[in-house]
Structure 1
């Protein structure tokens, strides 16, 4: 298992260490943050939801200019600064006592996180040859899940103690994790900034003028609506619509995390170019349709055992679809981005994550809990349609990129 999780020595392994360092703290933060803000800070749940929605909306907009900054100033230094900014934002939560400071801190956290994601993608693109990027990202995803699992266990201890000091210790752990992440990123080889562009070039970001890439990004955002399924929609579905026991929510989370740790690298191995990426995304759409149908069946009258079995099967299909979609989208996001605008394009492509975090809970709870079984089937059909639409959209974007460059996109890489 260790061999599967760890990437090759050198820059990929240091990137993985940086990923692990901040994901442990994030895992504990995700488990405890809601209770900290309600019980310790004293914010009403409605204000917490509003603040986080606004914060991730702001963060999604900030990803493009911060990614462009990484292109101009160099992705390593920008990544280090944004990791430090994330640590400062997490630490600032310890000082808030009312809504407006909470909103400012949450916006700072979301902006730094979205910018860090774009800058780290640009850094990876500069350090890893194109053929190896999807494989390295698969290793990073496995390390992310390992870190989240360890962090969730630490957060569980804090929940057991259920004191203000325990919750504050979780935020300190998360801030220290990002400080360590910054230190590890600073030890990576430098990647040269992109060449200076002509002054006559339009001021608006190039990615915002790239309509084919925007369509690809939109379709990817639709496919990422699967993200709140496991954390929000499915727990509510299990408790309110099925006969299955509530503890199954935790078991399904463990199943998902463990499967990604063990199999994400293997699932990503066949994805080496845009053609195989399109195939992986189409396959993920078919799997997600089956997954949604199985989850829908779990609400039919029957025993708790039957409902639990269907939910476990649906969760297995969910993680299989997730891994295929992730591998395909990584290859697509990198393969269609110009080498000299990698941070800018990755910042835009990564908008799907905060969009899923912002709109996903509202969309999924309304669709699934209000419509029930028809809602699940409609959601599966949406996943299938978006996955099949990705093929022609990627071909359109690739043709547009070749037309602009006069030749196929071949990102510049540095050895490590």
Structure 2
């Protein structure tokens, strides 16, 4: 082969690498754009609906719960739509739909419209997450998906922090115009994300006729359902720092109130610095299962240290550090498992189904964990940690079962 041909191949490889880097950069930019808006919304929305709209807290909680419940149901069919019609186009449409829902919140003045808009918001957000995961799977090589997903998670945390800071400014001002400005910012952030996603290459849809099995095959995939359930149990760590620990600090410790902010700073900062590094260690299903098992053990340790925080608030800082390590280990393992065990032509619906774990944790976690921890005290913390440990240990056999249902039995040796 001539030197010119070799040089041409080398240039082609570099061009492909440059294109891949550009696609990852666009994914990160889109993630950052809408996460800034999300951060502002999460900080201000409850106060806006209570103080400006005048909805009772019970109605706010019920409306948001119904919205996420509807969204969790819609995630699978919307993910399926992304598989069949093209992940990029569906992701862009759902980003625009999310922006429309946020704008609609600005005109809500009573409970019934609030519930309708909350359902639209939850549906668009859940479907967007599924479509974006399908888009990521379509433009990123399988061996790099977990690392890219980790980088996007770090970007998301950075955007949420920026948005939360802007939300804090709106809360300080406390005026209707300040809240409405933040809602408008959230809507614009999703429109910017949609425009950025349009710059990605289109992912070729898979026609239904060429895909064997039922339309929503994930609903009949029992091993994947078990994996999703295990992940949902592990995701109950999510309300700890935002709901449970602040209440625990107020009722059971003498720690100053600023410690809550310090715990959140430890969490977001650690994800920004270390999530990608941890994700690089995961190279296949065996590593992923091990990472989830380690996450369960670290979360158990975090719960034990949280229980000790009645003896000094320094234990809270140690526990928060342990919890974020468990969070990052879980994320890296769960991403690899969710992508690796989903058929390439059904990534959208499988990611939509796997993502229901987040909705379940958001809906049920605050009530369940508040009752368990604040009602049970030290015993409640220990029981919660034991649940995390057991769920983490259960992931390996569940992943092995799922793998064996997809491959020849002899291939199961790869996981042993």
TM-score, normalised via structure 1 length: 0.92
Give CA-to-partner distance per residue, 1:27-73, whole Å, 9 cap, x none. 11111111100000000000000111111111101000000000000
Provide the rounded CA distance (Å) in 1 between the counterparts of 2:399 and 2:79.
22
Quote the residue 1:196 is aligned against. Answer: 208
Could you tell me whether the CA contact under 8 Å between 1:278 and 1:390 is conserved in 2?
yes
Is 1:156 the counterpart of 2:161? The answer is no
1:180-234: CA deviations, max 9, x gaps?
000000110111001323699545x100110000000000000000011111111
Runs of 4+ in 1 over 4 A off after TM superposition: 198-201
The CA distance in 1 between the partners of 2:124 and 2:104, in whole Å, is 13
Q: CA deviation at 1:403?
A: 5.1
Match of residue 295 from structure 1: 306
When the two structures are aligned, how many residues end up with a matched partner? Answer: 394
How far apart, CA to CA, are the structure 2 residues paired with 1:199 and 1:156? 49
CA contact (8 A) 1:195 1:340 kept: no
Matching of residues 113-152 of structure 1 within 5 Å: 113-152=125-164
CA contact (8 A) 2:50 2:57 kept: yes
CA distance in structure 2 between the aligned counterparts of 1:223 and 1:254, rounded to whole angstroms: 22
- CA-atom RMSD in angstroms: 1.6
Tell me which residue corresponds to 1:105: 117
1:377 corresponds to:
382
In the alignment, what sits opposite 2:56?
44
| Residue of structure 2 equivalent to 1:220 | 231
1:412 matched residue in structure 2:
none
Of residues 239-248 and 13-22 in structure 1, the stretch that sits farther from structure 2 once superposed is 239-248
1:157-180 CA distances to partner (integer Å, 9 max, x unpaired)? 101101111011110010000000
Pick the structure with greater CA Rg. 2
* Residue pair 1:271, 1:331 contacting (<8 A) in 2 also: yes
Aligned counterpart for 2:359 among listed residues 351, 354, 372? 354
Q: How far apart, in 2, do the equivalents of 1:290 and 1:126 lie?
A: 38
**What does the per-residue CA deviation read over 1:257-297, in whole Å, with 9 as the maximum and x for residues that have no partner?**
11101111111110120010011001101100000000011
CA distance in 2, matches of 1:263, 1:356: 24
**Paired residue secondary structure (1:192):** coil
Distance in structure 2 (CA, Å) of the matches to 1:174 and 1:284: 33
Q: CA deviation at 1:8?
A: 7.0
Residue ranges of structure 2 left out of the alignment (5+ in a row): 1-18
Q: Unaligned regions of 5+ residues in structure 1, if any?
A: 1-6, 409-416
2:323 maps to what in 1?
Answer: 318
Q: Given the two structures, how large is their TM-score scaled by the length of structure 2?
A: 0.92
Q: 1:243 aligned to 2:254?
A: yes
**CA deviation string 1:62-102 (max 9, x = no partner):** 00000000000000000000000000001100000000100
Q: In 2, Cα distance between the equivalents of 1:242 and 1:255?
A: 19
Q: Shift of the alpha carbon at 1:255?
A: 1.1
